Each structure stands twice: as C-alpha cells, then as structure tokens.
Amino acid sequence: MELTDFVGRGVDYPLRFDEQGRLSLVGGSANIERSIALIIGTAYGERPMRPEFGCGIHSLIFETPSPELSTQIQAQVTASLKRWEPRIDVVSVGVKFDNENTTANILVTFRLKDTYDVRNLLVPFYLIPNEDERLPQLPQATQESS
C-alpha cells in the first residue's frame, strides 16, 4: 500500500491551476500538510455550510503574546487537528512568538497513522499587536518662555 492510497489526493491549497488549466491536485504527505494549514487558517464560521470547521485561534488575534496565549493556541490547534484531520496523530504543538510579537510560529509535530512517519510543519499565525504599542511616542508639549 502506498502513501497516496491511504492519504488520497486533494485540491491544492491555495487554489492553483496546472498546465492544462485544471485545478492542481496534491497527494501524499503534502496533502496532509495542506490540510493542517487549512484547518489552522480557517476561523470558525468562515465556511457557511460547515460553520464549526476550523480552529479557534482566530478569536485570540488581538491578544498580547504571553505564555498563557501560547498555551491557549496549543490547546486550540491540538483540539482542531484531532477533530478535523483523522489521518494523523498529533504528537505536539509548540508556539514561539517572533521578536516583534507580530507572529506566532506554530510548530505541529504529527505522526501519519498509516506509516507511523513523524513529521513537523511550521504554520505562521499573524497577530495584530495592541494599537497603543503601535502608536509613535509623541514628544511632551513644552511651554515657551516669553
């Protein structure tokens, strides 16, 4: 049994076309990696016919990066992948914020159920920092002496 027999083939994400003008298909572990990125990148309610599909991290987008936020992201990603990607076992989910605290880099370690092959996938999740932190610091007003 080959990996594509178990994993199958699916439409490539993001959508693209092949040389013949048909939707590009992807198979094997790339199919699962695209699926993981799609699950994490989809907010609840984004798909009208399946509003419960996706990941709850999008409700955390305005939060300040912290260890608590990292724990929340890990829990949301783990729960969503366990629910929506039956071809894998989630081994671990790690979160590391970039130096500017604008991106949460989510490292998903997973095992393919069919082959027991362990893989890693890094999925960036872009945060929007608090507006107060983005505003330039204005100089203090001073009175001129006359």
CATH number at residue 124: 3.10.450.40
117 is a domain residue:
yes
| Residue at 137 is within a domain | no
Please name the residues in contact with 120: beta carbons below 8 A apart, sequence gap of 6 or more.
Answer: 107, 108, 109, 110
| Tally of structural domains, the chain | 1
Q: DSSP class of residue 36? A: H
**Residue 1 pLDDT more than 60?**
no
On average, the pLDDT of the chain sits at 84
For residue 50, the Cα-to-chain-centroid distance in whole angstroms is 18
Whether 97 maps to a domain, the answer reads yes
Residue 109: inside a domain, yes or no? yes
The tokens describing 123, both together, are 């999925």
pLDDT at 127: 86
Residue 13 has a pLDDT of 67
The domain of 40 spans 3-130
From residue 107, give the alpha-carbon distance in Å to each of 26, 49, 78.
22, 29, 11
The CA distance from 34 to 5, in Å, is 17
Cα–Cα nearest to 125, from 53, 61, 59: 61
pLDDT in tens, 12-55: 767 788 889 888 888 888 889 999 999 999 999 999 999 999 99
Whether residue 143 is contained in a domain is answered as no
